[in-house]
Structure 1
């Protein structure tokens, strides 16, 4: 009897070691996926210092997620996120549609930089728009040889359904040229930001998640620091957000129109499109 108990204990210990080993192997894989996905989506180097995978809890921890500034800008990073906690439904982790009830990001630092060549956020927004544009698939298909054209699609990764993203302890720095080479830095503390129902029922690719995060952060800078920003930079930020929002709305309207057209016919789809455009006009008036 004692021998059986010892064998059972030894088996359990070996099983725990095996499971632990699998999850230890998962951690560098998570780092690679986050870095590759971010770099592809944003067009700048994305780095993650470390990742933790909860064996039983379904909680992922990400430490030191840093998004580089585009070339030609001085600050070392565009966006820094200190600690990120991600709750995942483990049963969906290996599927094409990953369900994430909550993401908590704390210790966020955003650097908005403008120099003689333009602004860093416009470079990143333009890259994001190029990924979601109608011709992005065609461009991917034409680039490179030996199947390289399929790489952007594979890098896009699974669809993500995120119930809630919370950003806390957010700071931002606005770095602008004043006269000649003289620079001015404006620190702005931002309030907590909550994003809900990202991805809807179908899910969203990682570039859409990054897009939403950056869009919300830039909008928070406009709201919290509008009276501290140079007028031309404020106008540029507002114009960039409006243009970016219109691109995203047009994209979602096209998808919705296709679905409605399949079930209710072209007339109903047209009504949906008019309603969406009307909503954008109201937003612009505000």
Structure 2
């Protein structure tokens, strides 16, 4: 009888050690997934310093998230997020759609660059939407410049998400138009961005769609800021020198 108890104890210890190792590597796996899965979507570099997730509470933190600039832009990065807090409904992880209670992005740094073809954020957001279109379009109908289709010609099945709250606070915007207005540069803090009930329908929202939505929202707020205050002063006269429809034409829609 004693030997049976010992075997059971050893098995429990082995299983517990395996679970602990798996849980301890969860953050590393998510980090790997972000760094490998996001670049094809945004068509530029993506890096993450650290990810910490709790499999019990569903809460976690992503630190040091950075999206590089697309081709044609000179800044070291487009978006840098020091800290993002997430809370996932753990009961939904094995379901058809993963429910994220909230995503809270704090004090992101946005390096907005304007070019004759629009801003770097708009380029990245468009890349993401092209990726989404390519993934969902029938073979032969992919959007121009989209990522290469799957080898079998079939759309890839993407993760379905529902985000109950997306909150972006304290976004620091650094805007420049060095390529068209030498020396133009200004800094401003964007107002709070809060979106709710994303992907509540049966189709949900994919990670690529969520990425594009966030970037487009940031770009929209940046365009609004460019029409008043410090950014307007920076660009006044400069937009007139290039016939692109004024400030909004310079920064894109």
- TM-score interval (norm. to shorter): 0.7 to 0.9
Instruction: State the TM-score, normalized to the length of structure 1.
Output: 0.69
Task: Measure how far apart 1:128 and its partner are.
Answer: 2.8
> Taking structure 1 as reference, are residues 32 and 49 closer, same or farther at Cα in structure 2, changes over 3 Å only?
same
5+ residue gaps, structure 2, are: 240-245
Indicate conservation of the 8 Å contact 1:178/1:184, yes or no.
no
Give the 3-state SS of the residue equivalent to 1:77 in structure 2: coil
What is the DSSP-based 3-state SS (H/G/I as helix, E as strand, rest coil) of the residue aligned with 1:29? helix
> Which residue in the other structure is 2:247 paired with?
234
- Residue 210 of structure 2 corresponds to which residue in structure 1? 209
CA distance in 2 between partners of 1:218 and 1:130 (Å): 17
Gaps of 5+ in 1: 241-286
Partner of 2:139: 138
Name the Cα RMSD after superposition: 3.4
Aligned: 1:170 with 2:171:
yes
1:147 to 145, 151, 175: 151
- 2:243 is matched with none
- Please identify runs of 4+ aligned residues in structure 1 that moved more than 4 A: 5-16, 115-118, 134-137, 139-146
Higher relative contact order (CA 8 A, sep 6+): 2
TM-superposed deviation, 1:159: 0.6
* CA-CA distance at 1:163 after TM superposition: 0.2
Instruction: Pick the structure with more helix per residue.
Output: 1
Inter-CA distance 191–119: structure 2 relative to 1 (3 Å threshold)? closer
Q: Provide the secondary structure at the position in 1 that maps to 2:44.
A: coil
SS at match of 1:19: helix
- Displacement of 1:177 in angstroms is 2.5
Q: Normalized against structure 2, the TM-score is what? A: 0.77
Distance 1:46 1:23 in 2: 24
Distance 1:13 1:143 in 2: 46
Q: Does 1:160 align with 2:161?
A: yes
Other structure's SS at 2:74 match: coil
Q: 1:58 to 1:145 in 2, by over 3 A?
A: closer
Map Cα deviations across residues 214-260 of structure 1 (whole Å, 9 max, x no partner): 122122223334222326463226752xxxxxxxxxxxxxxxxxxxx
